[in-house]
Structures are given as C-alpha cells and as structure tokens.
Amino acid sequence: MKIRVKLSAWYFATTLAILLCFSFGAYWGMQGLLLSAVNEELNFFLDEIEQSYRPADGTFTSLGKNLLTDRHYLKFYLIVYDADGDEIFRSPLAQNISLDIPLPEHKIEQSFTLHKTLLNMPALHYNVEKNVAFQAVSRQLFKNENQVGWASIALPVTSVEKTLAHLLKTLVLSFVAITAVVSIGSYFLTSRTLKPIDKITIKARKISESNLNERLEVDQNDELGRLSIVLNDLLARLQKAFESQQQFMADAAHELKTPLTILRTHWDNELDNTELSVTMKEKIIHDIETLSRLNKLINNLLLLSQTETVQAAKNFSLIRLDELLLEIVSDVEVLAGLRNQNIEAFRLVNAVVEGDRDRLYELFFNVLDNAVKYTQTGGKITVTMDVDAQEVIVKIRDNGPGIPEKDLPYIFERFYRIEKDRSRKTGGAGLGLAICRLIAILHNGSIMAENAKEGGAVFTIKLPVYIEQKKLKNIVVDTG
C-alpha cells in the first residue's frame, strides 16, 4: 500500500473517530439536557404540591379543581398518595391510561423514560393512535422532614423526540458531508506533500551504472532536502565503489578469462589427438575440470559485479520451494554421508515462490554445503520451513562450533573466509555466501546468520511467498 494511501487512511480514520465521538456526544448530551429540563419541570410541579401540604387536615391544597380543568395541567400524568399509601388524586390523563410507574421504597426519587400507545382521546388532544414517550418522576413528598406522601408524575416528550430526531438527521448528513470532504482533502494534501518524494524516486530510478554521476536536486531546506543530500552522498560513494569494481573486473577478464579460454581450447583439441595415451588423456580431463572450476570462479565474480544486469535479465517461474528443498537435501545427503552426518528436513509445508530455480538451488545448496563442511563428523543438520501471508522462512541449523562473533558481521562479504587455515582445507574462494546474499536480494528476499544458544550456526533465508498461492489449482508450477 502506498504511503499516501496509508496517510490518507490515517487522516480519514482519525477524523472519522473525532466526528463519531462529537456526534454521539452531541446527541447524548442534547438528549440529557432536554430530559433534564423535563425532569426539572416535573420536580418543580411536585415541589408546588409538596409545599401546599396542610398538616392540620392532611391535604394538599394545590390539588384543587383548577388542576383538573386547567389546559396547561391536562398534559401531565399525575397520581398523588397520602402517607398511608392511599391514592388521593389522579389527573385526567392518569384516569385514561396507566403507566405503571413504581413508587420509590428505598430512594427518595426515581426517574424513568416510558413508552405508551395512546388511543384517540380528543379531550386530551391525542387524536391518533400512536406510541408516545413519557418522562416520569416518582418521589416521596416531605413536610418539615416528615414524609407526607408519594407522587408519580409524567409528561409526554414527543417534542423532545422530534428535536432529537432532527438533530440526529442533521448530524448524519453533516457526518457524511464532512467525511467526504476530509477523504478527498486528506488524499489531495497527502499527495501534494509527498510529491517531492515522487520526484526523488523517479530521478533515483533513472540512475544506474551508466550514469552514476547524476545527482538528485536539492531545492528545499527540510527533511526531504536533507534526504536528497544524504542520497547524493550515497550515490557518490556508490559511484566510486562501482568504478573500482569495474576496473577490477576489466583486469580480471583480461588477465584470467582469456588465458583460461586459450588453455581450455588447447586441451579440448588435445583430447582428439590419437597419439596420446589413455593415461595422458585422463590427466588432460583432470586439467580441463580444474579450468572449469576456475571459469566458474570468474563467472561468480561477474555475477557479483553485474547485479543490475542480472536482475534485468532474470527469468522467473513459479517454484514449489518445499519440493526444491527436498531435492537439495537429497543431493547434499551424499556429501553428509561421507562425514557420517545426519541431515533432517521437517515441517516443510506447501509453499510457492517466484524465482529462478537454478539460482535458488545454488542458494540453498551453498548454505547446506557450508553446514556439511564446518560441522564435525557425526554432526546433525536440520532444515525447517515456516510460511505466513507474506513470506516463507527457511532455517538451516547445524550443531557445529558456530561462527566466531567477530566474523558474523562479515561472512556475507566477498572473499571473506572464516578460520583461514581451515578454509584452505575445505577449499573455496570466500564467494559462496556472497553469492547466496546476492541471489536472495535478486529474489526480493534476505539471508542472515546467527549462533544458536544451544550451539551451532543458524542461517535464516526469507523469500516473498507468491501472492496468488491460494489459486494453485490454476497455476503450472516448476518442480524441476
């Protein structure tokens, strides 16, 4: 996923979270304020009734005729009880419907939100059958800190619900509009901010071994400008290193390849000489094999010095890596058997990678061959494999002496050899692991080495798993 898409997604997600919090907060906050206002009105009405209590005869003077006829009070659902719990007053609305408001026993006051379906009641201004919400309060009534009764009161909050519905609609429409604007705006601003990076990327892609003298433009004094300066310094170092490498390879080609070719041609022609004895021809064949190994060494040097050329000419196919590993293990077992070593491959799961089969064979064969060379007689070598959604991870472990800590950072460098005296016995020019790293890089993977806690060395090779692995039924896989 591109960075601009990620940043836009983060901006969008952050704005979305803020808007959702604001919208829910505004809605629930407004609902709380409106219902709180209704509760205050209900409690105010009950306060008037409570203050009208007359201890002399135990009556509430405010519960008179005007309360039954005043249109302002007709909208209230009200039931009043005396201190003994006997009902002493019921409003007209309470006479027509029942809200079943419980009286508080252990609390002084309780509030509720109830719903009731009201039938046609023209006298009470309910002319249609509908579900009506009521905000209700049930509380104890006191006079001089003595309880003198109970009261249940409720008020239809249809207007409150309409206000909240209108608020909700406004919030939803605003949310959709703001989300759209933020989505477009964040992508536009992110693209504009990252545009200099696109310029740097395009310019950097055009730089290769043929024009390493090119440099990136530094036209701003910010993080991207400093990045351009760092990249220019890196390009300068690469140019110097590449020029040195080109000179070396030119010298090597002139000093080595041409004489070897002449010698190889000469010895090939001598094989057709009928005057030579069989013994002499066997010696010539041995010399030709030696020349072939030298030629392979030169080819490895060319491979290491022509990374971009090799990558441009790569011919990848789909490969069942688990089957390739089994084949390599089978081949290396012959070498391991000569040293009475045991190679065990387990946990090899079905995994497909895209790559050059010969190069991958060389990669894993070199690592296993090194494990055989540097593990003592009778040692054990294991090959394991794990696969996730992104990559396949192969671990090759031995129980040999391990790699000296001072050598670990350098073992993948060209011509670097561990324990020089022993390397002379095992052969090689110190290019095997350098070739392995190059092959891993050419396959967009990596290789690393470390020492295991229980002893021995562990080489970890990571390769990107083929993105369409789930559709293997329709794929022709190269199994060799």
- Non-local (6+) Cβ contacts of 93 within 8 A are 74, 75, 76, 77, 78, 124
Half-sphere exposure of 210 (CA within 13 A, CB side): 4
- Mean pLDDT calculated for residue range 1-12: 73
The pTM of this model reads 0.45
Which conformational region is residue 378 in: left (phi greater than 0), alpha (psi within -120 to 50 degrees), or beta? left
In 122-222, which residue ranges form alpha helices assigned H by DSSP?
158-206
Looking at residue 302, its pLDDT comes to: 64
Tens-digit pLDDT profile for residues 430-449: 677 888 888 898 899 999 99
The string over 234-245, giving b where at least 16 C-beta atoms fall within 10 Å of a residue's C-beta and e elsewhere, is ebeeebeebeeb
CATH number of the 314-474 domain: 3.30.565.10
Tens-digit pLDDT profile for residues 86-111: 888 888 888 888 888 888 876 778 88
Tell me the percentage of the chain whose pLDDT exceeds 90.
14
Q: Cα separation of 88 and 64, whole Å?
A: 12
Half-sphere exposure of 104 (CA within 13 A, CB side): 19
- Mean pLDDT calculated for residue range 401-420: 79
Please return the burial class of 351, using the count of CB atoms within 10 Å of its CB with bins 0-12, 13-18 and 19+. Answer: buried
Looking at residue 394, its pLDDT comes to: 95
Lowest model confidence (mean pLDDT) among 136-145, 246-255, 277-286, 350-359: 246-255
Phi and psi of 209, rounded to 5°?
-65, -20
Residue with tokens 């719990």: 85
**Six token digits for residue 62:** 């405010």
In the three-class reduction of DSSP (H, G, I as helix; E, B as strand; rest coil), residue 431 is classed as coil
**Six token digits for residue 321:** 């890596």
In 253-356, which residue ranges form alpha helices assigned H by DSSP?
258-270, 278-305, 307-312, 321-338
Looking at residue 475, its pLDDT comes to: 42
Question: Mind giving me the DSSP string for 10-47?
Answer: HHHHHHHHHHHHHHHHHHHHHHHHHHHHHHHHHHHHHH
In the three-class reduction of DSSP (H, G, I as helix; E, B as strand; rest coil), residue 321 is classed as helix
Tens-digit pLDDT profile for residues 25-54: 888 888 888 888 888 988 888 888 888 888
Please return the burial class of 151, using the count of CB atoms within 10 Å of its CB with bins 0-12, 13-18 and 19+. Answer: buried
Q: Cα separation of 198 and 201, whole Å?
A: 5
Looking at residue 447, its pLDDT comes to: 94
Q: Do domains 58-156 and 314-474 have the same CATH topology?
A: no
Looking at residue 474, its pLDDT comes to: 41
Is the Cβ–Cβ distance between 74 and 124 less than 8 Å?
yes
How far is residue 103 from each of residues 137, 153, 214, 249, 386, measured CA to CA in Å? 9, 11, 87, 99, 67
Looking at residue 463, its pLDDT comes to: 94
Q: Bigger pLDDT: 215 or 312?
A: 215
- Helix H or strand E encompassing 440: helix 432-442
The arrangement of strands across the sheet holding 380-387 comes to 342-345, 380-387, 391-398, 457-464, 446-451
Q: Bigger pLDDT: 218 or 84?
A: 84
Q: Cα separation of 142 and 109, whole Å?
A: 12
**Res 367 pLDDT > 90:** yes
Task: Compute the mean pLDDT over every residue in the chain, rounded to the nearest whole number.
Answer: 79
Longest CA–CA separation in the chain, Å: 150
- Mean pLDDT calculated for residue range 162-186: 85
Relative orientation angle of helices 357-374 and 432-442, to the nearest 10 degrees: 150
Lowest model confidence (mean pLDDT) among 135-144, 145-154, 193-202: 193-202
Q: Cα separation of 227 and 218, whole Å?
A: 9
Domains of the chain, residue spans: 1-51+160-206, 58-156, 223-310, 314-474
Looking at residue 311, its pLDDT comes to: 53
Q: Cα separation of 182 and 440, whole Å?
A: 42
- Helix H or strand E encompassing 73: helix 71-74
Topology given in CATH for the domain delimited by 58-156: Beta-Lactamase (3.30.450)
The string over 213-231, giving b where at least 16 C-beta atoms fall within 10 Å of a residue's C-beta and e elsewhere, is eebbeeeeeeebeeebeeb
- Mean pLDDT calculated for residue range 262-289: 79
- Mean pLDDT calculated for residue range 297-303: 67
- Non-local (6+) Cβ contacts of 290 within 8 A are none
Half-sphere exposure of 326 (CA within 13 A, CB side): 13
**Res 304 pLDDT > 70:** no
Half-sphere exposure of 245 (CA within 13 A, CB side): 15
Is the Cβ–Cβ distance between 435 and 304 less than 8 Å?
yes
Q: Bigger pLDDT: 299 or 254?
A: 299
- Non-local (6+) Cβ contacts of 3 within 8 A are 194, 197
- Mean pLDDT calculated for residue range 369-395: 91
Is the Cβ–Cβ distance between 288 and 274 less than 8 Å?
no
The arrangement of strands across the sheet holding 87-90 comes to 87-90, 77-82, 146-156, 130-143, 109-118
